[in-house]
Chain A
Amino acid sequence: MNAQLREALAPVRRGCGGLKVRVNGEACVLRCSGALWVEAERTLIASDLHLEKGSAFAVRGQMLPPYDSPATIAKLEAEIEALDPARVVLLGDSFHDSKAVDRLNDADRTRLDRLAAGRDWIWLEGNHDLKALAGALDLLTGRVVTTLQLGALRLIHEPQPGDRPGEVAGHLHPAARVVAWGRGVRRPCFVTDGRRLLMPAFGAFTGGLDVRDPAVAGLFETPPMAAALGRDRVHALAWEALR
């Protein structure tokens, strides 16, 4: 990682295992869960929850465990418990498909309601959940937006081409791969060059796209840093280390 990037990001390890960096001048914590914490705004951001992905497969005859939604919601609960955010932004593709809200069971829906109570709860639209959110506002607590300005950050589901200072986006599910001792390890990761930030997918069943894929790498003019999610800490990886 070059000195310039290091300086721009100024990565500092936080007690929670997260990594504090600056994106477009805004101080953010890359959390080990895959969520982003913007302290100045007391805002927690999580992207691509893909709730009810398991049941979406079950409908078509592949019986994936029906535990992905509870697992994802539990992860969100833990983050909210730890940070007590004033605002929570779910950065799109919160639901896997258009029928997902209907399939969400009552217990899980109640848990979401309880989390949203007393906070500004924002469902930011994504390509997967556009229809789901449109048809289900009466079933869910919170408001729906397309984009959101948060200090120097601009939140949007799909990253836009070109130089977008302050853009925080999801959609691509970036994952980084490193190799040592003959074995490769692949983990979801944040990707940032200090100007814009790509979020990892937060959902329990969400896969990943290699950060070296042009769809990800093409968003950055200079090699960015990948911050991979370890078990209890975020690992800052230099672009050159990725395989």
Chain B
Amino acid sequence: MTPAAAPATLPPPALPPLFADWFARRGWAPRRHQLEMIAAAEAGSHALLVAPTGGGKTLAGFLPSLIELAERGPKPETGPGSGVHTLYLSPLKALTTDVERNLMTPIREIGLNIHVESRTGDTKQSKRQRQREFPPDILLTTPEQLALFCAWEGAAAYFADLKCVVLDEVHAIWSGKRGDLLSLGLGRLQAFSPGMRRVALSATVDDPGMIAEWLRPGPIPPPRGEGDREAVEGAGPRLPPHHASHGPLPPAGGERVRVVLGDPGAPAVVDVLVSEGKVPWAGHTGLHALPEVYEIIRRAGMALIFVNTRWQAEFVFQSLWAMNEDDLPIGLHHGSLAAEQRRKVEAAMARGDLRAVVCTSTLDLGIDWGDVDLVIQLAAPRGASRLVQRIGRANHRLDEPSRALMVPASRFEMLECQAAREAVAENAFDWEPIHIGTLDTLAQHVMGVACAGPFRLDDLYTEVCGCGPYRSLSWESFEEVVDLVATGGYALRTYDRFARIVRDREGRWKVRNAQIAQRHRMNVGAIVSAATLNVRVASRRGQRLTGGRKIGEVEESYFEPLTPGDTFVYAGQVWAFQGIAGMDALVMPAHDSDPKIPSWGGSKFPISVSLAGRVRRMIEDRDHWRVLPPDVQEWLELQEARSAIPQAGDMLVETFPRGDRHFLVAYPFEGSIAHTTLAMLLTRRLDRLGVGPLGFVCTDYSLAIWSIRPMHGLDLDALFEPDLLGDDLEAWLEESFMMKRSFRNCALISGLIERRQPGAEKTGRQVTFSTDLIYDVLRRHQPDHLLLRTARADAASGLLDVARLGQLLTRIRGHVRHARLDKPSPFSVPVLVQIGRERVGGEAAEMILAAHAEDFALETLVAEVMADAPPELEGAR
């Protein structure tokens, strides 16, 4: 076989006899995409496999390595070929164990002499040490472990032999900060072993070209020549070259990625459950349908019930058990349960001991946990791609259809479910925006490189520019990141003498000392969880409560509104909150059958752009209504009679009085995050217009603002002008708690602030000072600091969805359709019932303080008034 690329029209290569026999013994035939992956390997090409679940995707990724290793024979103890041959990286720890098990089957059955090991954060120190001394042929690990390897002095020698790296579930990771860190790590590996092949496995996505472009090593490609066939395959969206004014230019050139598309599986059978023929007006949990869901579980073999938040999972689990007269083994799985607890549920699933598992996105990814034959999506799916992923959990055999059932929690969700069902049928996936590499992540990587050994700035810049998300990185930005790593990047140069990285005599950068390197290694990773508390069962020791058994971890903010004695559901049980001690939230079992359930808000994921577009078009198209249940059709007709049906090209705004307030309800259908940002900004503007806005609430479909004075007389087109995103946004953002949260993440990822310090684990304190205080001081003294800019960009793209809001405002410019009503419309009900259940934002902190002070003021006033009141009027108190 020549190293030149084999055109796709040639017959794919045959399997080596050993492997062909094994396939035959199993009664299988190799799939086309598996053979094409072997062909790509023989051509020495990087490859991206895009295929649905159940197509033998993981095997396809590993087959070329297994074949190469089988041909190699016994492994040499030293010299070439003695190192790691293939490195497998998965976004989930659990996936490495799963893959190890699955990979061992062919190795054992074919009788190959191939050594496979996994390495995660849970791997024992002794085993890690052994892995360093005696590298396995195939090492299965996570992106965080790769980042740790990159910060190790021995990494260059350890990976000098690496032939192939396999990235699993790449669609789930490439476009975030973990993807940035992974991409930078790949750049390092490529430098250690220039001949290394990159192989990525992805679920079906809207545009494989974007992932191929992310995967491809090397800088911005040169202009394409004629007859360059593979460039077409690998070409993704091209970023404009952004050359620096000084410093080395990003080198030209680059390699190609061959994209292999798997055959689509049998079309899924997706139904929508209309419980007792009715769809509720409002809600977001789907609780009304649980008795029917229970019946369906009873009839199914094993069902996965996906919900959108952890708290919803807890609640659904609790409710199902309350009606579980048959004692069906029903489990619970979500991200804040203790790891041991999750492993138990996973093992029980794999053994086939469970009939149903209530879960969140933790089970989205491709672990094969036994024979699931039905997937239930409780409440709206929020996006077609996620739905397809979830549906793929049912029935891992490609040629049989997966079965799924969606349960809408409200009428708008009914529209969304119908739209998602049509999108799945048409194989239409959600598109993703272009992702540009984040600088806080780059800072962490630069520090890691310095920990591994001295480097030259020019060399590292060239290497970083060869990483997908950083192709357009300017030299100035790079220098700024290095300065951040060294001394914090402050205009006031007082920290130069404490620098974390310093130049040696030859002008190379290296870490200042071993302690600093050790501290960096303790803080590697791009996942920053919100400050979490351990949930522990309290036991009484004398007067004091102490924490006993750990049940799990929960975000600190969750406990904020709780007072001791409050009951809540967690890990499938009702607990009474006892108080917080250090990093522990102490709880005791409660026998309360009606726990106080704190509001869990809406979905963590807003409705996707493509799905929202489908919903808008469905609402506009009267003929389309016929596929909907009768009550939903009538609801739409009532809306048309009372108000108006929004058209896809405009935005409906209703105004009406209710009680002593005036309401404005808008229907952008752009997801709760963009709506919240819009409502915040509108409130500021309405305040200036003198209508006295009092509050707002948002759903994924609409937003409502209420005020003292009527809003129907306002120029609505002017109100929604895109300049809303100008100064108001800036001013509001600076004060926003979301900015502070975003800053905290950036400060932790960049290493400006350490999460873990030597010796500090014992005290359990994670960060020893408030990042909010640092944010406030930095904002006043150096508002253009790199991390503030990064935090702002992050908040705008993630927590605030500013980009999406911008698209909305442009789309509806001059197309705001006003319906002035004398009472609420049918469409407005879901958002109006949210009132009083939502959290407040913006000035909330001051308002909360003031409200309590007002209580005190009121108390004082009442005391004064009642002081000389006659006894018979004492009841007025």
Stretch of A81-89, A120-128, A177-185 on the interface side: A177-185
Interface check A58, CB cutoff 8 A: yes
Interface check A66, CB cutoff 8 A: yes
Interface check A190, CB cutoff 8 A: no
Cα distance, A105 to B493, chains bound together (Å): 11
Query: Which one, B512, B560, B859, contacts A184 given CB within 8 A?
Result: B560
Q: Which B residues are CB-close (under 8 A) to A184?
A: 560-561, 848
Interface check A65, CB cutoff 8 A: yes
Q: Which B residues are CB-close (under 8 A) to A183?
A: 560-561, 839-840, 844-845, 848
Cα distance, A178 to B863, chains bound together (Å): 23
Is B516 touching A67 in the complex (CB atoms < 8 A)?
A: no
CB distance from B176 to the nearest CB of A (A): 25
Query: Which one, B752, B845, B855, contacts A241 given CB within 8 A?
Result: B855
CB distance from A225 to the nearest CB of B (A): 9
Is A62 touching B490 in the complex (CB atoms < 8 A)?
A: no
Query: Which one, B489, B599, B848, contacts A180 given CB within 8 A?
Result: B848
Query: Which one, A65, A228, A231, contacts B782 given CB within 8 A?
Result: A65
Cα distance, A139 to B461, chains bound together (Å): 45
Interface check A230, CB cutoff 8 A: yes
CB distance from B862 to the nearest CB of A (A): 11
Q: Which A residues are CB-close (under 8 A) to B516?
A: 61
A53-70: CB near B (< 8 Å → 1, else 0) gives 101011101111111101
Interface size on A, residues (CB 8 A): 42
Cα distance, A84 to B753, chains bound together (Å): 38
Is B598 touching A182 in the complex (CB atoms < 8 A)?
A: yes
Q: Which B residues are CB-close (under 8 A) to A63?
A: 487-490, 495, 498, 500, 752
Query: Which one, B498, B769, B860, contacts A207 given CB within 8 A?
Result: B769
Cα distance, A243 to B560, chains bound together (Å): 8
Q: Which A residues are CB-close (under 8 A) to B563?
A: 179, 243
A59-B498, A64-B753, A71-B780 known; A185+B773 contact, CB < 8 A: no
CB distance from A238 to the nearest CB of B (A): 5
Cα distance, A57 to B769, chains bound together (Å): 11
Interface check A99, CB cutoff 8 A: no
Q: For residue A55, which residue of chain B has the nearest CB?
A: B494
CB distance from B193 to the nearest CB of A (A): 32
Interface check A6, CB cutoff 8 A: yes
Interface check A40, CB cutoff 8 A: no
Cα distance, A94 to B482, chains bound together (Å): 33
Interface check A148, CB cutoff 8 A: no
Cα distance, A134 to B844, chains bound together (Å): 45
Which DSSP category, helix, strand, loop or mixed, fits chain A's interface?
mixed
Interface check B850, CB cutoff 8 A: yes
Is B488 touching A181 in the complex (CB atoms < 8 A)?
A: no
Cα distance, A5 to B856, chains bound together (Å): 12
Interface size on B, residues (CB 8 A): 49
Q: Which B residues are CB-close (under 8 A) to A65?
A: 488, 490, 774, 777-778, 781-782, 785
Cα distance, A236 to B853, chains bound together (Å): 6
CB distance from A66 to the nearest CB of B (A): 5
Cα distance, A68 to B769, chains bound together (Å): 13
Is B488 touching A64 in the complex (CB atoms < 8 A)?
A: yes
Query: Which one, A3, A206, A231, A237, contacts B852 given CB within 8 A?
Result: A237
Interface check A235, CB cutoff 8 A: yes
Q: Which A residues are CB-close (under 8 A) to B844?
A: 181, 183, 185
Is B777 touching A205 in the complex (CB atoms < 8 A)?
A: yes
Interface check A152, CB cutoff 8 A: no
Q: Which B residues are CB-close (under 8 A) to A180?
A: 847-848, 851-852
Interface check A187, CB cutoff 8 A: yes
Q: Which A residues are CB-close (under 8 A) to B782?
A: 65, 67
Interface check A73, CB cutoff 8 A: no
Interface check B761, CB cutoff 8 A: no
Most buried by B among A65, A68, A178, A238: A65
Q: Which A residues are CB-close (under 8 A) to B500?
A: 61, 63
Q: Which B residues are CB-close (under 8 A) to A205?
A: 769, 773-774, 777
Most buried by B among A1, A6, A182, A236: A182
Interface check A172, CB cutoff 8 A: no
Cα distance, A58 to B489, chains bound together (Å): 12
Is A185 touching B487 in the complex (CB atoms < 8 A)?
A: no
Q: Which residues 203-243 in A have Cβ within 8 Å of B in the complex?
A: 204-207, 228, 230-231, 235-238, 241, 243
Cα distance, A6 to B863, chains bound together (Å): 11
Q: Which B residues are CB-close (under 8 A) to A59?
A: 498
Cα distance, A235 to B851, chains bound together (Å): 10
Interface check B492, CB cutoff 8 A: yes
Cα distance, A71 to B752, chains bound together (Å): 20
Cα distance, A89 to B839, chains bound together (Å): 42
Is A207 touching B773 in the complex (CB atoms < 8 A)?
A: yes
Q: Which A residues are CB-close (under 8 A) to B561?
A: 179, 182-184
Q: Which B residues are CB-close (under 8 A) to A71?
A: 777, 780-781
A-B contact count (CB 8 A): 134
Q: Which A residues are CB-close (under 8 A) to B490?
A: 63, 65-67
Q: Which A residues are CB-close (under 8 A) to B852?
A: 178, 180, 235, 237-238, 241
CB distance from A236 to the nearest CB of B (A): 6
Q: Which A residues are CB-close (under 8 A) to B488?
A: 58, 63-66
CB distance from A70 to the nearest CB of B (A): 7
Q: Which B residues are CB-close (under 8 A) to A58?
A: 487-488, 495, 498
B765-789: CB near A (< 8 Å → 1, else 0) gives 0000110011011101110010000
Cα distance, A68 to B773, chains bound together (Å): 9
Is B773 touching A61 in the complex (CB atoms < 8 A)?
A: no
A63-B752, A64-B753, A65-B782 known; A204+B848 contact, CB < 8 A: no
Cα distance, A204 to B778, chains bound together (Å): 11
CB distance from A10 to the nearest CB of B (A): 11
CB distance from B621 to the nearest CB of A (A): 39
Interface check B754, CB cutoff 8 A: yes
CB distance from B530 to the nearest CB of A (A): 14
Cα distance, A178 to B753, chains bound together (Å): 28
CB distance from A158 to the nearest CB of B (A): 21
Interface check B519, CB cutoff 8 A: yes
Interface check B125, CB cutoff 8 A: no
Is B781 touching A179 in the complex (CB atoms < 8 A)?
A: no
Q: Which A residues are CB-close (under 8 A) to B863?
A: 3, 6
Cα distance, A62 to B747, chains bound together (Å): 11
Q: Which A residues are CB-close (under 8 A) to B122?
A: none
Query: Which one, B754, B770, B781, B848, contacts A67 given CB within 8 A?
Result: B781
Is A204 touching B846 in the complex (CB atoms < 8 A)?
A: no
Interface check B515, CB cutoff 8 A: yes
Q: Which B residues are CB-close (under 8 A) to A206?
A: 773
Interface check B29, CB cutoff 8 A: no
Q: For residue B498, which residue of chain A has the nearest CB?
A: A58
Q: Which A residues are CB-close (under 8 A) to B876?
A: none
Cα distance, A62 to B767, chains bound together (Å): 11
Q: Which B residues are CB-close (under 8 A) to A230?
A: 846, 849-850
Cα distance, A237 to B857, chains bound together (Å): 10
Q: For residue A175, which residue of chain B has the nearest CB?
A: B770
Cα distance, A243 to B564, chains bound together (Å): 9
CB distance from A218 to the nearest CB of B (A): 13
B558-577: CB near A (< 8 Å → 1, else 0) gives 00110100000000000000
CB distance from B597 to the nearest CB of A (A): 12
Is A185 touching B849 in the complex (CB atoms < 8 A)?
A: yes
Q: Which A residues are CB-close (under 8 A) to B773?
A: 204-207
Cα distance, A185 to B852, chains bound together (Å): 11
Q: For residue B860, which residue of chain A has the nearest CB?
A: A6
CB distance from A126 to the nearest CB of B (A): 18
CB distance from B489 to the nearest CB of A (A): 8
Q: List the 4 closest pairs (A to B, CB-CB), nearest first.
A: A63-B488, A184-B560, A67-B781, A235-B853
Can you list 20 pairs linking A and B with CB atoms under 8 Å apart?
A1-B856, A3-B863, A58-B488, A61-B515, A62-B753, A63-B488, A63-B498, A66-B488, A66-B494, A70-B781, A71-B777, A179-B561, A180-B847, A180-B848, A182-B561, A204-B776, A205-B774, A207-B773, A235-B849, A238-B852
Q: A63-B752, A179-B563 are in contact. List 9 more A-B contacts (CB 8 A).
A: A1-B856, A55-B495, A63-B487, A63-B500, A66-B495, A70-B781, A105-B494, A180-B847, A238-B859
